[in-house]
Every structure is written in C-alpha cells, then in structure tokens.
Amino acid sequence: MRKILKAGGKGIRSIIDFFYPPFRKYMSVQLFRYGVTGMANLVFDWVLYFFLYNFVIQHRLVHLGIVTLSPHIAALAFTFPISFMSGFLLQKYVTFSTSDLKGRVQLVRYGMVVAGNLSLNYFGLKLLVDTIGWYPTPSKMAITLLATMISYISQKRYTFR
C-alpha cells in the first residue's frame, strides 16, 4: 500500500510541479504544492459538506441516542474523518514527502494540528451560524480559510519538519 501511495504522490507532484514555473518568483515549490493540494482537499471538503448537509442530512437534526447534533455540526462530524485522511495523505506523500519523521509520528502531529482546526471549525460554526445567523456553507468556507493559514505554518514547522 505504501508503494502505491508513494507512486501516487510522485505522480501528483509531477503534475503540480508542471504548473509551478510561473510562480517560482513568488513562492517555494513546497508552498505551491501545499497550496494546490490544500485547495484540492478544501474544495473536496466543501463539496462533501454541501452534499451531506443538503442531501443526506437535509437540514434536519441528527439524533444519535444520547446526543442530538444540529445539521451543520452533523455535516462537519461526518466530513471530518474523510477530509482528515485525504489531507494527511496529500501532505505526507505530495507536499512534505522529504520529511524523515516516521509516518505514525506525522499522523499524531497532524492529528493534533487538525484537532485545533476542528475546534476552530466547531466554535466558528457555532458563532457564525447559531449566534450571528449566517448560512452554514459560507460560514464553513470562511472558517476553513482561516484554519488553512494556521495549518500551513503548523504543518511545516511541526508535523513534517
């Protein structure tokens, strides 16, 4: 499986690097790769969130026995594990592929950074949707943009150093 992931990461890196030359003056190849893979994962997360919120959850409360989730929080809870793994794999095998840290160490550190971002997402959605009254999907998008900036710095200096 690791061979497949490494080969896939190399292929994705080659495609991304093909588009890098016009940006060479403005950013490192690593930052460019992070931006492209991060944006791809971000759009994937937004589309998944939109689909789940509107077509699966259908704007309804989700009853899980002892707890009931509001629809926008339920959509976040269901999309999180999927975008977590896709984001980790893209960062590990495409953006920060030269890191010497063991995969499990990277995964734990990535999880810690993402936990902080998940908290930011949760409290941000509670604030923007429940308190201010914004629509859930644009609220999720705004919060994710802030979390992405924080995440790049954390991933570069901590998770994959």
pLDDT at 99: 87
**CA dist 93 → 8, 111, 135 (Å):** 8, 16, 35
- For the chain, the structural domain boundaries read 2-159
In the prediction, which pLDDT does 148 show? 78
DSSP H or E segment with residue 78: helix 71-90
Q: What is the pTM of this model?
A: 0.79
Q: What is the pLDDT of residue 117?
A: 86
pLDDT < 50 regions, the chain: none
